[in-house]
């Protein structure tokens, strides 16, 4: 399907109906294990000399279709799906890195990822330098002799900063390290990081790709463009004690990384997704293209409307001309700027909390990318344990409200916010 367009791939890639009894929908293969023809067949499967299914922690026909579809849509050569976005990130990094290695990461990251890099991985001897990604040279300046990966979000959550992926990937190439890009907020419907030099793409499938807020999932997609034999990654060029002496680079060539993610990452770390969840994600993926257009157009219209409201202090949406990232979004997010908006409200913490407590269509919860509109006031909820200095440094000011704009009619969404605005203390407006 590689010559087809996104909306076509999202419906067809990876599914050969002849292999599924002609079923038009992708079936759920709810089985933990697969019968071998005989012991020699089993031996061949384990030796990777013959393709086939062994055990659902390693591979599964439903998961396989989702993997092929995601790889095709992102322009990669292979993918592995996992239980959640967080497990996709931890599995990818743990397969790639070892104690003593170093990461250069954007400082504008999803909270869970920030904690993984800042607290959990250092316990295993893997340290991260966080840099301001708005100037790509900061990545170069932070490189050490033991740096082994750059990690960024293409459209940062919750800062909504658009990164100059091309420039950052040029530095990654210069220092011979792979660029890993979390593309969850932009989605492949709006941006393909591989086109700009990303080597590995990560997704939380929980968000826009599934879109219905029903299941968790994650994906690791390999562009197949990184040279693992450049001297910095002996785990790929020397016999692997974890897989009876397999030399990944020699045996698997450009697919060395994604193969290691499956045969060592899924096998040893265990983050395999349920085929039922993959099935649900496939239903969502089928309509990703049209949904992202609508999420983006609804968000742009709402952001422009918010900019005109007397109650609103500031609005941050990369599609607004007032945004610091407007020029980068013209280059990287031409098809739309996704569905997240942050804005600040007059009256600070109290007004913001009042609004989050008084919407009816916007649900107060900690998720993004649902078909239904969502709202959160981080300072009184997800970030309330942080000191006010730490809140500011993570970009979460006390007046900040984050919207994940859904697919409802835009008039109803405006009316819903208008009603919530009417509840704030009018004294703050004068
Ligand atoms: C939600 C999210 C994650 C984590 O994904 P889960 O599926 O919740 O584990 C990672 N990155 C970004 C940008 C996210 O928004």
How far is the centre of ligand 1, averaged over its atoms, from the C-alpha of 206 (Å)?
7
Choosing from 183, 207, 219, 338 the residue with most ligand 1 atoms within 8 A of its CB, the one to mutate for a pocket test is: 207
C-alpha–C-alpha distance, residues 56 and 82, integer Å? 11
Average pLDDT over residues 287-312: 98
* Span 99-118, pLDDT tens digits: 999 999 999 999 999 999 99
Q: For residue 270, which of 55, 117, 42, 77 has the smallest C-alpha distance? A: 55
Q: What is the pTM of this model?
A: 0.97
pLDDT digits (tens, 9 = 90+) for 209-227: 999 999 999 999 999 999 9
Cβ(83) to ligand 1 under 6 A?
no
CA 414 to chain centre: 28
Is pLDDT of 430 > 80?
Answer: no
Distance CA 361, CA 229 (A): 53
- Ligand 1 binding pocket includes 395 (Cβ within 6 Å): no
Full 3-state SS string of 119-149: HHHHHHCCEEEEECCCCCHHHHHCCCCCEEE
Ligand 1: atom nearest CA of 369 is 15
The first and second tokens of residue 401, run together, are: 């409200």
Q: Is 182 in the pocket of ligand 1 (CB under 6 A)?
A: yes
Sorting pLDDT into bands at 50, 70 and 90, what band is 426?
A: confident
Question: Is 427's pLDDT higher than 90?
Answer: no
- Out of 186, 190, 201, 206, give the residue to mutate to test ligand 1, the one with the largest number of ligand atoms within 8 Å of its CB: 206
Whose C-alpha lies nearest to ligand 1, atom 2?
204
Whole-number Å distance, alpha carbon 91 to ligand 1 midpoint, is 14
Domains by residue range for the chain, with CATH: 6-284 (3.40.640.10), 292-429 (3.90.1150.10)
| Proportion of the chain above pLDDT 90, given as a percent | 91
């Amino acid at each position: 399907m590689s010559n087809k367009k996104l909306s076509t791939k999202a419906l067809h890639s990876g599914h050969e109906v002849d292999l599924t009894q002609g079923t038009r929908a992708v079936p759920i293969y709810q089985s933990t294990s697969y019968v071998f023809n005989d012991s020699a067949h089993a031996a061949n499967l384990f030796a990777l000399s013959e393709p086939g299914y062994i055990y659902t922690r390693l591979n599964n026909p439903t998961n396989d279709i989702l993997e092929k579809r995601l790889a095709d849509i992102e322009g990669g050569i292979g993918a592995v799906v996992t239980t959640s976005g967080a497990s996709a990130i931890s599995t990818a990094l743990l397969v790639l890195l070892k104690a003593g290695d170093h990461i250069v990461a954007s400082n504008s990251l999803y909270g869970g990822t920030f904690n993984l890099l800042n607290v959990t991985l250092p316990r295993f001897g893997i340290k991260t330098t966080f840099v301001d990604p708005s100037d790509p040279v900061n990545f170069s300046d932070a490189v050490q002799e033991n740096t082994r990966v750059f990690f960024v979000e293409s459209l940062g959550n919750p800062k909504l900063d658009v990164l100059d992926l091309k420039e950052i990937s040029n530095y990654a190439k210069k220092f011979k390290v792979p660029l890993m890009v979390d593309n969850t907020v932009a989605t492949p419907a709006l941006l393909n990081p591989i086109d700009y030099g990303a080597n590995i793409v990560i997704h939380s499938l929980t968000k826009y790709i599934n879109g219905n807020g029903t299941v968790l999932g994650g994906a690791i997609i390999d562009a197949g463009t990184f040279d693992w034999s450049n001297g910095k990654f002996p785990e790929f060029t020397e016999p692997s004690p974890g897989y009876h002496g397999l030399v990944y680079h020699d045996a698997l060539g450009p697919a060395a990384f994604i193969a290691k993610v499956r045969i060592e990452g899924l096998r040893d770390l265990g983050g395999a997704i349920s085929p039922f969840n993959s099935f649900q994600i496939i239903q969502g993926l089928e309509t990703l293209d049209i949904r992202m257009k609508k999420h983006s157009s609804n968000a742009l219209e709402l952001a422009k409307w918010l900019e005109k409201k007397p109650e609103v202090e500031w609005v941050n949406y990369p599609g607004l001309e007032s945004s610091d990232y407007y020029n980068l979004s013209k280059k990287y997010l031409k098809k739309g700027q996704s569905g997240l908006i942050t804005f600040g409200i007059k009256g600070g913490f109290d007004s913001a909390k009042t609004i989050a407590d008084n919407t009816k269509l916007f649900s107060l919860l900690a998720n993004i990318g649902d078909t239904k509109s969502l709202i959160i006031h981080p300072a009184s909820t997800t970030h309330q344990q942080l000191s006010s200095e730490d809140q500011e440094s993570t970009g979460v000011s006390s007046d900040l409200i984050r919207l994940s704009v859904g697919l409802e009619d835009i008039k109803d969404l405006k009316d819903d916010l208008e009603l919530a605005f009417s509840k704030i203390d009018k004294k703050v407006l004068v």
